[in-house]
Structure formats: C-alpha cells, structure tokens
Amino acid sequence: MRVRTSQLQEGCILSNDIFSLTNNPIIPKKTVLSNEHIQVLQNFLVQDVHVEAFLITGEPFTPSELVEDIKVAEKESSIVEDYLKSVKEYKQLFQNWQAGSLVEVAKVRQIILPLFKRILEQPKQLFSLHRYTNREDYMYHHSVTLGLLSGYLGKKLKYSQGDCNHLAIAGLLSDCGMAKIDPKILAKSTSLTLAEFNEVKKHPLYSYRMVEKIPLIKDSVKLAVFQHHERIDGTGYLLGITGEKLHPFGKIVAVADVYSAMTLERPYSNRQSPFKVLEEIRRESFGKFDVKVVEALTSGVGNISIGTKVKLSNGQTGEIVFIDTSQPTRPLLKLSESDFLDLKSFREIFIEEIV
C-alpha cells in the first residue's frame, strides 16, 4: 500500500525501491525501515512510499491516512506475512515453554506445516526470508527458518512428503530446549563466558527431554533434535557421535541449522549473504557435514542459471553468463555491454541476492 512518509514507523517493510535523482535506489525494496531510514526519506523529500500491510513483528500496519484510499479485492496473504505470523506464534509458544508448559504437537504442526506447504510451492521465497529478521527475535526466526529449510532439504533429497513434514517439525523443535536456559544468557549481545557457553551447549539435551516421551513425535524427529549439533568427524556436541551413528535427519538439520544461523541477524553478529554462507559451509563440509545434504543446499541456494540477474555485496548488479559447476556461487557476470566480472577472481565479493 502507498502511504505518506510522515505515516511511516519503525518496522515497516518497503515493497518498492526508493529513488531520488539517482540511478541506484537510496533504499531498496524489502528493507525493514528503522528511524534512520525514515529520516533519510524525509531528508530526500520523498513524499510517499509503498510498504507492506504488515510490520516486521507480524502485526498489521494501519496508518491513519493512505495516499490512495482505493478498495481492492481481498487477496491471499503473502508468504512473508505468513512467515512473520509463524514467528510470532512460535515466540508465544517458546514463552509458554519458559513458563513450564509442555510441548503441544498440534500447535507445533499448525505453526510450521501450512507455511512449509506454501514454501514448497514457491521455494525461491525460502532464500529471501532472512531479509525480514531482527536481532531481538533471532531465536524465533531461527527456529521457523530451520524448520522450513530442514523440510525443504528433505524434499531435495527425495524423502517422502511425510518425512519432509517430520523434518520440518524436527527443525522447529531443535532449539525448544533453549527455553530451559537462563533468559539473561539468551539476551546477551556480547560474547558468552565459557560457563555460559557450556550451559547453552546443553540445549539439545533439554530439547530432547521436552519431546522424549511424546508418542506423537517420531523417534527420527527426537534423534534429529538431539543430534543437530553433532558432526560426522566427531567434533560436535553433546556426545561427539561420528559417522553412521548419526541419524540421517540429524545430518540434515545440522546443515540447515548452520545455514539459518549465519544468514540471520543475531544479537552478536550481522546476517551474511546466503551465497557467502554457502561457500563457508562447502569449505567445512569435508568430514563434518553429509556431502549429499550440502549439495542439496547448494542446489537450492544456488538455484541460478544463465541469464539470472543478481545483486552483489559491493552494490553492483549483473547478469550471469557462465557457471563453473565446481564453484556454482562464483559465476562469470556481465555488468554492462563491455564490462565483465569473474567472481572466482574476486573472493571478497559475493552474490547478495537474486533480483
């Protein structure tokens, strides 16, 4: 919807790029507006902008005045809107767990499975949800994206729809045990002490205990919850389990967990480009992660082809003209009619997003 700049508030989400006598947008679409962004718009004398009908918190955005007060037919909610709603609902569920409530499978399924179904219909949306996260609610965004990504990787690996649903549930529940950690530790924006870190490392055990005796949850889900921080070479935790002793679901959620965490805004670090994170995971994959799962993630994140337009971490945009299958995140780009950029030769530049 189109609103006057004076009506904006922190947490609004731009639905169109904002230009002002420049070739490049001063603020790109999908940006979650801060007070500083709103001040920039006012300084550039931008009179009105297009924003989503909901805030980053999932609450509806209801300005007192619209630029165009035209009634339109009610349309289906967007995936982003449903995603933010799921995050909000999971946050409430997590707070209930902190207060001592038990895990209710029906509520867990209601939060993740309808959204997962929509993601399978539009999988590219999954790899842009990181843009709508915030530091304060990192844990809740992480759990929802982890559920979606775990189920999606199951689909890429040819698991049945039933198993994919169970993977989505496993991802969502993997960090439920964080509800048993001291909230002061969870809220820290600085590095944890060794004692605090050791306490946080216990969360897979706490998560497992929360779901252990629920008959409606499959054993494969329970094992994934318990093992999602284990590594094939034994360098993970809690037990340092190796190789074939790890359940396939645990291997899938482990990769999804690392990708989700690194691409989201965290209390102690900024989000990273999905393509940069993918490169780091591929470097780490030898000996630590299941290669087939990493390749499934690569196929999903790197779902790019000749002719795809991308935005780079340095602000440039280009069109992919050649892809080396051994390094799919580092294609040759055409920036203009006479200017080309081979990302294999510029390791400090990453693909930020597909445009």
Of the candidates 92, 9, 11, which has an alpha carbon nearest to the alpha carbon of residue 56?
11
Average pLDDT over residues 52-69: 81
- Looking at the structure, tell me whether residues 234 and 101 fall in a common domain: yes
- Choose the final residue of a domain: 284, 301, 318: 301
Q: What is the pLDDT of residue 76?
A: 54
- Looking at the structure, tell me whether residues 71 and 84 fall in a common domain: no
Average pLDDT over residues 172-194: 93
Q: What is the pLDDT of residue 72?
A: 40
- Looking at the structure, tell me whether residues 143 and 65 fall in a common domain: no
Would you state the torsion angle of the CA atoms of residues 191, 192, 194, 196, taken in this order, to the nearest 10 degrees? 180
CATH of the domain at 209: 1.10.3210.10
Whole-angstrom Cα distance, residue 116 to residue 268? Answer: 28
Q: What is the pLDDT of residue 73?
A: 39
- Looking at the structure, tell me whether residues 189 and 332 fall in a common domain: no
The answer, yes or no, to whether residue 141 has pLDDT greater than 60, is yes
- Looking at the structure, tell me whether residues 8 and 104 fall in a common domain: no
Give the range with max mean pLDDT: 66-70, 74-78, 117-121, 275-279.
117-121
DSSP letter (8 states) at residue 24 = S
Q: What is the pLDDT of residue 162?
A: 96
Q: 189: Cβ–Cβ under 8 A, 6 or more apart, which residues?
A: 135, 267, 268
Pairing between strand 48-50 and 340-342?
unpaired
The answer, yes or no, to whether residue 177 has pLDDT greater than 90, is yes
- Looking at the structure, tell me whether residues 296 and 326 fall in a common domain: no
pLDDT (tens digit per residue) in 258-287: 999 999 988 777 888 888 898 889 887 778
- Tokens (6 digits) for 196: 């605090």
- Choose the final residue of a domain: 301, 319, 338: 301
CATH of the domain at 9: 3.90.105.10
Of the candidates 22, 138, 44, which has an alpha carbon nearest to the alpha carbon of residue 87?
138
Length of the chain: 355
- Looking at the structure, tell me whether residues 98 and 238 fall in a common domain: yes
Domain residues for the domain of 63 are 1-75
**Other CB atoms within 10 A of residue 65 CB:** 9
- Looking at the structure, tell me whether residues 232 and 265 fall in a common domain: yes
Give the range with max mean pLDDT: 17-26, 46-55, 70-79, 171-180.
171-180
Total domains in the fold of the chain: 3
| Residue 8 identity | L
Whole-angstrom Cα distance, residue 237 to residue 19? Answer: 49
| Residue 156 identity | K
Average pLDDT over residues 238-257: 95
- Choose the final residue of a domain: 31, 59, 75: 75
Sign of CA dihedral 188, 192, 193, 196: positive
Average pLDDT over residues 83-105: 97
- Looking at the structure, tell me whether residues 236 and 294 fall in a common domain: yes
| Residue 234 identity | G
